[in-house]
Amino acid sequence: MTNRRGIRAILLAGAYIVMHVTIAGAQSLALEFEAAEALPNFDIDGSPARVHSQGLFVTEQHYYVTGRLETTLRRALLLRFERQHPATVEFVDITPKTESTGGDMRLDHPGGFDSDGNAFWIPVSASRPHSRTVVLRFPVQPDKPLAESASEIALAVDDHIGAIAYDRAGKRLYGANWDTKVIYCWQSDGTLEKKISQGELIRGDRDWALAVQDWKGIDGGRILAGGIDKASNCAPDESPATVALLDLPQRIQLAATRLPRPAGTPHAVTREGLAVFGDRMFFLPDDLGQNAHVFRYRWKRAPKSIAH
């Protein structure tokens, strides 16, 4: 199928290869489905856990996941799974300790997150739009138990920030609010540089309407974003699950791909977490504790020097 941005999906040898080329000289995305890796169901506080997945980060050793524990008093969690032995699950409560407000303004909703190489940057928000957020820095210490590390509040925002990406080249943070109506750009010390409205984010495309669920800084200041395309001119028979390669300083979408829903999930594959490690992309669309899977794709034309 083809849409206005020239996206096409080809079924080849049982795997979807999805390609997009629209800008001369631009990086094209070519993804090939490889596998669905099961994550275990597990207990928290003696009861079967259901964690509403939000963000995903992948290293050679671990899957890191942010999510909201769905109990009477909901909590923001960071979880870690060993990739070679996924039944080994660790978690830590990252609900801000200064949090005293109850009801729908409780900060219990962590979002998509990224790393600067030393620490994760994790937004934790109230579970509704136009609310508030604190952004936590949580040290990356793979050789220590997760519970031995502690987060610190890096900045606070009077809005719901659903995903944070870290641009290592420019030492900037990019935050997408609910449905990516506004994008925030901060220096790494928390100083706000600018806010960009959705219609102004991609030069020459005021119809761009990707609701970012998770995004990652890769190389050369580029951002890899996963989410749901909510553009009004998206055809009903097209998958809304979209991955886009963005140059935010230049306000350019370098490439974009729609991903068909793979077997093994009832959801769009970009519904929640996205991660990149080497020439692989990973997606976590399902809630933990509900027979969740991480879906792995080969990025056939990945940049050779990805930060993660």
pTM of this structure: 0.88
Q: Which residues 6+ apart lie within 8 Å of 50 measured at CB?
A: 69, 70, 287, 288, 289, 290
pLDDT score recorded for residue 16: 42
How far apart (Å, rounded) are the C-alpha atoms in residues 127 and 76? 11
How far apart (Å, rounded) are the C-alpha atoms in residues 35 and 46? 31
How far apart (Å, rounded) are the C-alpha atoms in residues 261 and 16? 10
Domain locations along the chain: 7-299
DSSP designation for 226: E
Calculate the CA dihedral of residues 114, 156, 74, 287 and round it to 10 degrees. Answer: -20
Whether pLDDT at 195 is above 80: yes
Whether pLDDT at 24 is above 60: no
* Greater model confidence, 9 or 271: 271
Instruction: Convert the pLDDT of each residue in 149-165 to its tens digit.
Output: 999 999 999 999 999 99
Whether pLDDT at 57 is above 70: yes
Domain 7-299 has CATH 1.10.3470: no
Query: What are the distances in angstroms from CA 32 to CA 171, 218, 241?
Result: 31, 19, 15
DSSP designation for 26: P
Model confidence at 221, in pLDDT bands (50, 70, 90)?
confident
Whether pLDDT at 7 is above 80: no
